[in-house]
Amino acid sequence: MGTRCLALIAASLLFYNCNKDQKDTEVNEEIAEVKPKSSYEFGFKLDDFVVKKDTIKSGDTFGAILDRNHIAYPRIYEIVESIKNTFNIRSLRPGKPYTLLCAKDSLQTPQTFIYQPNKEDFVVINFKDSITAYRSTKPIKYVEKEVTASINSTISQALEDKGVSLVLAYKMSDIYAWTIDFTRLQKKDKFKVIYTEKYIDDTIYAGIENIKAAYFNHNKESFYAFEFQKDSLNAPDYYNENAKSLRRAFLKAPVEFKRISSRFNLKRRIALYGNKVRPHKGTDFAAGIGTPIVSTANGTVEKSAYTRGNGNYVKIKHNSTYSTQYLHMQKRKVNVGQYVKQGDVIGWVGMTGNTSGPHVCYRFWKNGVQVDPFALKLPASEPLEEKYKQTYLDYIKPLKEQLDNASTSTKNKNLKLPENQITYN
């Protein structure tokens, strides 16, 4: 082999070894020990235990759960006696989750039992050495969101198109129940909502907490709504931009998320009866069988009975001027003489009496004459007291500006709440 060939081979080997050393170095640099993050829950470092999660089964008891996990009955009795003033072990309910934190020994002996009656709260029974029990709450975070949308068909569809929970539609329906007929929304009606969502442990969605403020442009008329709590003795309520309550003496409808199948019409003609005029003195709300029917105002039950035409029906006297009636119920819930409040369930939608489909026929009397409630200007409830008015107006000012400047997208941002409303274990 010539001198030139040997030189080329040597150079090649040198180049190979250099590259090999460089690659080895690169590989060694990339392989770094990454320690997994420790997992914490219920205030415990879970890495220190063997963690067993399950749900309470039908027939399960606290003793049975510990017994099948190698805790003897004398120790179980001792635990139960020690915690009886803090937690009643008979309150365990089937389907609710529990967690056992067990020692890392051959028997995996339980040291702590944690019961979750709901998503937020939990009970810790610790019996590793001494026996203790306490209640606590998972960290809760509130996130403020806002959404703006236009109506093309229904409010539910508008929210679904934005990827927003339909629960928001129900809450809006409650807020505007006295001022907007949601069955008569029009295309190009618009709404804007500022609301808060609740998250447990930062990631577990726990639903919509509340609506802080809303704006609805319906039939070219503006309707603002702001949540405001006057004091600790009163629940929050909704008022408009002028501090007037959105509530009315009567709800717009006796069922939620309804469809009006037949309106009040004194000149209605029915083909089945030879196209003769057969007045319809009620408003029919089509809804599924079993849908709750509520009283549209406070009052006393005047009639709760069954007739061939009305089927199961209830009539409520609200005052000397107004009365309402609810026909074709599947079942009645109230009795004559009973006092009911606005929103109380008085029965359920059915098909009793003369009816071809499930609905509630809602009838409205004013001074003894049946009238169309949608043609009336119903009385409002009391306005916000003067002593709260300036505080209210100052409070809603930034919210109104936020509503007026809301974009057409859905936006999230961390909600600044008092520290006692954002808790961390």
* CATH placement of domain 40-137: 3.10.450.350
Between residues 421 and 395, which one has the greater pLDDT? 395
pLDDT above 70 (res 150):
yes
| Cβ–Cβ < 8 Å for 184, 224 | no
The pLDDT-based confidence of 418 (bands split at 50, 70, 90) is very low
| Cβ–Cβ < 8 Å for 395, 230 | no
Instruction: Provide mean pLDDT across the span 54-58.
Output: 94
Q: Cα–Cα distance between 333 and 351 in angstroms, integer? A: 16
Q: Which tens digits make up the pLDDT trace of 67-111?
A: 999 999 999 999 999 999 999 999 999 999 999 999 998 889 999
The pLDDT-based confidence of 341 (bands split at 50, 70, 90) is confident
Domain(s) of CATH 2.70.70.10: residues in the chain = 259-375
Burial of residue 1 (CB within 10 Å: 0-12, 13-18, 19+) is: exposed
pLDDT above 70 (res 400):
yes
Domain(s) of CATH 3.10.450.350: residues in the chain = 40-137, 141-247+381-421
Cα-flanking dihedrals φ and ψ of residue 333, to 5°? Answer: -110, -15
Between residues 371 and 17, which one has the greater pLDDT? 371
Fold of 259-375: Glucose Permease (Domain IIA) (2.70.70)
What pLDDT is attached to residue 422? 36
Side-chain-side CA neighbours of residue 393 (13 Å): 10
Q: Which tens digits make up the pLDDT trace of 14-28?
A: 434 444 444 444 444
* CATH placement of domain 141-247+381-421: 3.10.450.350
